[in-house]
């Protein structure tokens, strides 16, 4: 069996499986043994008991065994599997196409797909067809995106047999067809107000005075003012030159830090999903404002995307965030990524983390100590007394550990607040837009109070 992947201009990469010359597909099937045994028994009985009429019972089996042996040819062909789309959103359908090409033809070929848990079958994922000589048979399977993340076709099973079902075999192979499933709320976007700007034109409204579209103020003409800024209507009314001052349109740098904590149980996976949707909304919103956006994912693996502009950066961020869902559980975590020192000093840092671990708290404190304005979104989980956790079996030790963790989290939150980190709690039923708006208001209030 030869397997290779090739890029497709119209769809994602396809996987090819070569059937020609595969010994697993040239085996004797049980029906051959049964028919051969009946044929042999009939011949022996007819001869031994001198009863030619017994041959009437077994002649069809003799004929079919002889025909199968005489007409059998080794299987040749190529099976190619591809998906019509490689990026979809939760709940959308994707069609997986399997092309079977053969020069000699295949009398019966069975294709069975086994997708990963994130893909749900729509209808049967098994199909049986024939391939005529020098032609291609295409079988289409539909799967639905069940949960966000990176999904793939785990296994492709190919079973072939001749027209008498006497010779054939089975082949299992792993397809490289992957589908990236995004969150439905990925289309939302939100942004924060910037305090420090880069000297590059953007869409933020700065408090400074300069070149821009928005009128900030008017004042009498002073030496050095450009004559282009003279407000002729006011100047005419006051009989002296007055100029119009405008807010300059500036851009800023935003770094989103996502705590890729364990997604072991349903509650944690829900928290992870909310974290990712918030990070995605922030990234989309700021990139639309011509801000540079960077992403730092800390947890099982550290992923650092330096701040950049543009739509391509949004795709990069989406890919990195989707990969968070496939992170292995309970592996060792890394909290002091080297990328921390590369975060620009004037960047707004937004951390999405439940702050359950003291190490992530110390990471946030370190970034804050470098002078960056830092906000933390804390996705809260269901309360201990809620209906879902009321019947959970807990022992005394577990309960005490949970209380200790809660106390530790509160201490961490308090210490961060004292350092000037804006922390906003995110309740489970609160939409992402609302909570980001809360962060914006908190930051504005803190700016007014000169908390940082």
Partner 1 sequence: MLNWHIDRFFRAGPLCALVTLALPMVMAALVNSHRTEDNILGILLVASGTIFIGSLMGSTLASGFGTILFSLGTAVAEVPVWLMAVVGISLYITLVIHDLSGAFHRGPRIAPAIWRNAATTALVIAATSTAAFAMVYFVARLTTWQSIVVPFGVAAIGFAAKLAADSHRTAGRQLTAKRPSLSDADNPVS
Enumerate binding residues for partner 1 (CB under 8 A). 21, 23, 26, 29-31, 33-35, 37-47, 50-67, 69-70, 72, 74, 107-108, 110, 112, 123-124, 126-130, 137, 139, 163-165
**Contact (Cβ atoms closer than 8 angstroms) between residue 195 and residue 447:** yes
- Closest separation in Å from C-beta 68 to partner 1: 9
Residue 40 backbone phi and psi in degrees, to 5: -65, -45
- Closest separation in Å from C-beta 141 to partner 1: 9
Contacts of 144 (CB under 8 A, 6+ apart): 91, 92, 93, 94, 119, 120, 121, 122
Which of residues 55 and 150 has its CB atom nearest to partner 1 in the complex? 55
149-161 vs 106-115, strand pairing mode: antiparallel
Which of residues 65 and 416 has its CB atom nearest to partner 1 in the complex? 65
C-alpha dihedral sign at 337, 341, 343, 347: positive
- Closest separation in Å from C-beta 384 to partner 1: 44
Residue 311: its H or E element: helix 311-324
Residue 223 backbone phi and psi in degrees, to 5: -55, 135
Which of residues 23 and 332 has its CB atom nearest to partner 1 in the complex? 23
Which of residues 107 and 267 has its CB atom nearest to partner 1 in the complex? 107
Residue bearing tokens 């080297």: 338
Which of residues 18 and 419 has its CB atom nearest to partner 1 in the complex? 18
Burial of 332 (0-12, 13-18, 19+ CB in 10 A): exposed
Nearest of 198, 79, 176 to residue 136 by alpha carbon? 79
Token pair recorded at residue 80: 């190619």
Token pair recorded at residue 441: 């208001």
- Closest separation in Å from C-beta 125 to partner 1: 9
239 dihedral zone (left: phi>0; alpha: psi -120 to 50; beta): left
Which of residues 156 and 361 has its CB atom nearest to partner 1 in the complex? 156
Q: What's the 3-state SS for 348-383?
A: EEEEECCCCCHHHHHHHHHHHHCCCCEEEEEECCCC
- Closest separation in Å from C-beta 56 to partner 1: 4
- Closest separation in Å from C-beta 146 to partner 1: 20
Which of residues 53 and 266 has its CB atom nearest to partner 1 in the complex? 53
- Closest separation in Å from C-beta 114 to partner 1: 13
Which of residues 140 and 288 has its CB atom nearest to partner 1 in the complex? 140
- Closest separation in Å from C-beta 127 to partner 1: 4
Which of residues 34 and 215 has its CB atom nearest to partner 1 in the complex? 34
Reduce the DSSP state of residue 164 to 3 states and report it: coil
Distance CA 60, CA 24 (A): 28
Token pair recorded at residue 164: 């008498």
């Amino acid at each position: 069996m030869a397997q290779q992947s090739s890029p497709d201009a119209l769809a994602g990469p396809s996987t090819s499986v070569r059937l020609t010359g595969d010994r697993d597909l040239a085996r004797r099937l049980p029906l051959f043994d049964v028919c051969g045994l009946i044929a042999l028994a009939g011949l022996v009985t007819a001869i031994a008991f001198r009863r030619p009429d017994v041959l009437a019972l077994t002649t069809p089996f003799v004929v079919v065994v002889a025909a199968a042996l005489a007409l059998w040819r080794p299987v040749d062909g190529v099976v190619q599997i591809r998906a019509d789309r490689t990026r979809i959103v939760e709940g959308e359908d994707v069609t997986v196409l399997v092309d079977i090409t053969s020069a000699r033809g295949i009398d019966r070929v069975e294709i069975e797909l086994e997708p990963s848990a994130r893909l749900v079958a729509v209808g049967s994922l098994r199909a049986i067809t024939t391939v005529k000589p020098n032609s291609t048979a295409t079988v289409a399977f539909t799967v639905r995106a069940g949960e966000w993340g990176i999904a793939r076709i785990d296994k492709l099973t190919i079973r072939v047999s001749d027209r008498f079902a006497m010779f054939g075999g089975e082949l299992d192979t792993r397809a490289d067809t992957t589908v990236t499933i995004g969150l439905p709320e990925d289309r939302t976007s939100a942004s924060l107000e910037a305090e420090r700007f880069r000297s590059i034109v953007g869409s933020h409204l700065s408090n400074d005075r300069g070149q821009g579209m928005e009128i900030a103020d008017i004042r009498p003409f002073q030496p050095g003012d450009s004559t282009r800024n003279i407000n002729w209507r006011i100047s005419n009314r006051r009989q002296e030159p007055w100029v119009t001052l405008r807010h300059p349109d500036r851009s800023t740098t935003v770094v989103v830090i996502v705590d890729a904590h364990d997604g072991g149980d349903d509650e944690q996976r829900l928290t992870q999903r909310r974290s990712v949707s918030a990070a995605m909304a922030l990234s989309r919103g700021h990139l639309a404002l011509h801000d540079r956006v960077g992403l730092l994912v800390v947890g099982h693996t550290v992923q650092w995307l330096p701040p950049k502009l543009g739509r391509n950066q949004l795709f990069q961020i989406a890919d990195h965030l989707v990969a968070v869902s496939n992170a292995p559980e309970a592996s060792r975590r890394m909290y002091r990524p080297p990328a921390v020192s590369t975060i620009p000093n004037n960047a707004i840092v937004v951390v999405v983390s439940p702050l359950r671990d003291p190490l992530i708290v110390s990471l946030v404190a370190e970034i804050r100590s470098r002078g960056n304005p830092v906000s933390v979104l804390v996705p809260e989980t269901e309360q201990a007394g809620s209906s879902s956790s009321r019947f959970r079996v807990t022992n005394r030790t577990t309960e005490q550990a949970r209380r200790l963790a809660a106390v530790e989290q509160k201490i961490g939150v308090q210490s961060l607040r004292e350092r000037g980190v804006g922390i906003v709690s995110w309740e489970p039923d609160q939409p992402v837009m609302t909570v980001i708006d809360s962060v914006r208001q908190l930051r504005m209030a803190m700016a007014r109070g000169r908390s940082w």
